């Protein structure tokens, strides 16, 4: 299954709050979710934190699940996309700043029990220059994931590796999106002050490019198909 991550920001002149409201309450329900090939759809809106840049690169991330490449291609040819979602995008998003990643999801730590927290951290990373893609992926899963699992307060954890097709004509913009779920923003802030979290970041810095590390604190808004990390 394709797990697509779409990073977006407001069009010029639109506030972040109005951008997020339109994305969740208008675009998602009136247009995007009506595309028949979409199995699951979630819009995660940015939660501002002290120290954030006044003009962040992105104000949220949508997640879309599609069965396979054939279904993905078919979705881009539907009237729901061509006459709906695609035409609506310039009304609220700076589409020239949108970044789309097709990924393969690797659930490392599924949420325990029936509860699933709506607060998550998305860490976008690019591997260090000279490191082979397969080595990078193996390092993430085999050596980095166990460190992430030790972070206090972590409720769920999933790695999303950019699919091979994004490297067909060169380098992908980003190589992975790491998702860490917490009970709330306060639980994340508490986790950030722990040796385990700092150790995880230190390890990440050993095999990724620091200037391409982007961290977003997000609140999930499920439109359809909420099942939690899988």
Structure confidence at residue 229 (pLDDT): 47
- CATH number, domain of 39, equals 3.30.70.100
> Roughly how many angstroms between the first and final C-alpha of the chain, as a whole number?
11
The number of domains in the chain is 2
Q: What percent of the chain has pLDDT over 90?
A: 89
Contact 66, 224 (CB under 8 A): no
135 and 88 fall within a common domain: no
16 and 124 fall within a common domain: no
Taking the mean position of all CA atoms in its chain, how far away is CA 230? 14
Parallel, antiparallel, or unpaired for β 40-46 and 214-224?
antiparallel
Res 228 pLDDT > 60: no
2 and 35 fall within a common domain: yes
90 and 111 fall within a common domain: no
Structure confidence at residue 50 (pLDDT): 85
Which range of residues forms the domain containing residue 49? 1-97
Exposed (0-12), middle (13-18) or buried (19+): which is 70, by Cβ within 10 Å?
exposed
- Quote the longest CA-to-CA distance of the chain: 51
91 and 122 fall within a common domain: no
Q: Which of 49-53, 104-108, 153-157, 162-166 has the lowest mean pLDDT?
A: 49-53
> What mean pLDDT do residues 116-125 have?
93
Structure confidence at residue 52 (pLDDT): 85
Res 114 pLDDT > 70: no
Closest by CA position to 88, among listed 29, 2, 159: 29
197 located within any domain = yes
26 located within any domain = yes
């Amino acid at each position: 299954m394709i797990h697509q991550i779409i990073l977006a920001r407001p069009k010029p002149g639109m506030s972040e709050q109005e951008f997020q409201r339109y994305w969740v309450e208008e675009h998602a329900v009136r247009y995007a979710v009506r595309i028949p090939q979409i199995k699951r759809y979630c819009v995660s809106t940015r939660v501002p934190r002290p120290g954030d840049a006044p003009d962040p690169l992105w104000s949220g991330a949508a997640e879309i699940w599609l069965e396979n490449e054939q279904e993905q291609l078919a979705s881009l040819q539907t009237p729901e996309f061509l006459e709906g979602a695609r035409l609506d995008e310039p009304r609220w998003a700076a589409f020239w700043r949108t970044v789309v990643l097709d990924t393969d999801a690797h659930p490392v730590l599924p949420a325990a029990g029936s509860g699933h927290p709506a607060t998550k951290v998305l860490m976008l990373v690019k591997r260090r220059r000279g490191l082979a893609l397969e080595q990078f992926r193996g390092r993430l899963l085999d050596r980095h994931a166990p460190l992430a699992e030790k972070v206090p307060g972590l409720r769920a954890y999933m790695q999303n590796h950019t699919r091979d097709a994004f490297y067909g004509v060169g380098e992908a913009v980003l190589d992975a999106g790491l998702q860490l779920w917490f009970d709330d923003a306060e639980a994340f802030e508490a986790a950030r002050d722990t040796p385990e979290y700092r150790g995880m970041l230190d390890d990440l810095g050993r095999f990724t490019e620091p200037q391409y590390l982007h961290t977003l604190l997000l609140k999930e808004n499920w439109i359809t198909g909420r099942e939690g990390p899988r």
